[in-house]
C-alpha cells in the first residue's frame, strides 16, 4: 500500500509540474503576441508622428509625441513581464515525509518504529 501511495504522489507531482510548464508556455506565448502587437503599434505611431510632424510643423505635435511615449512605455512593461515569465522556474514542493527503509511505509514525523513492519527508524 505504501508503494502505491508513493507512486500516486509521484504521479501527482509530475502532473503539477506539467501543468506549471503548460501554463508558463501559454503565458509566454500570450506575452510574445502582446509584445509583437505593441511593437507594431509603436512603429505605426512613430511613422504617423513623423508624417504629422512634417505636415503640422510644431503645432499639434505634442499629442502625437505623447502617444508614441505611451506605447513605448507599454512595450517596455510587456517586455519586462515577458522576461519574468520566461525566467520562471518550477519549484518542487518540499516533502518532510519519511519512509520506512525496510517496507516503504510513509511515517509520521517523530516516529521511532515503523507501524507496519516494526523496523527501528533512526
Q: How far apart are CA 41 and CA 62, in angstroms?
A: 18
| pLDDT tier for residue 1 given thresholds of 50, 70 and 90 | low
Q: What pLDDT does residue 44 have?
A: 93
**What are the residues whose beta carbons fall under 8 Å from the beta carbon of 16, sequence distance 6 or more?**
93
User: Model's pTM, two decimal places?
Assistant: 0.53
| pLDDT tier for residue 122 given thresholds of 50, 70 and 90 | confident
Q: What pLDDT does residue 58 have?
A: 64
| Greater pLDDT, 104 or 61 | 104
Terminal C-alpha separation, the chain: 22
Going by the DSSP 8-state scheme, the letter that residue 98 receives in this structure is: E
Q: How far apart are CA 21 and CA 44, in angstroms?
A: 35
Total residues belonging to the chain: 122
pLDDT(56) > 80: no
Q: What pLDDT does residue 62 have?
A: 79
Q: How far apart are CA 7 and CA 29, in angstroms?
A: 33
Task: Give per-residue pLDDT as tens, 17-41.
Answer: 999 999 999 999 999 999 999 999 9
Grouping H, G, I as helix, E, B as strand and the rest as coil, residue 120 is strand
Q: What pLDDT does residue 60 have?
A: 66
pLDDT(54) > 90: no
Amino acid at each position: 500500500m505504501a508503494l502505491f501511495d508513493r507512486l500516486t504522489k509521484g504521479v501527482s507531482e509530475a502532473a503539477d509540474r506539467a501543468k506549471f510548464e503548460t501554463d508558463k508556455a501559454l503565458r509566454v506565448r500570450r506575452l510574445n503576441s502582446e509584445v509583437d502587437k505593441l511593437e507594431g503599434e509603436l512603429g505605426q505611431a512613430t511613422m504617423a508622428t513623423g508624417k504629422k510632424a512634417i505636415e503640422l510643423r510644431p503645432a499639434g505635435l505634442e499629442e502625437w509625441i505623447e502617444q508614441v511615449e505611451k506605447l513605448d512605455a507599454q512595450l517596455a512593461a510587456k517586455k519586462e513581464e515577458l522576461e519574468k515569465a520566461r525566467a520562471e522556474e518550477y519549484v518542487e514542493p518540499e516533502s518532510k515525509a519519511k519512509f520506512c527503509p525496510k517496507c516503504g511505509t510513509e511515517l509520521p514525523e517523530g516516529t521511532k518504529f515503523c507501524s507496519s513492519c516494526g523496523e527501528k527508524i533512526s
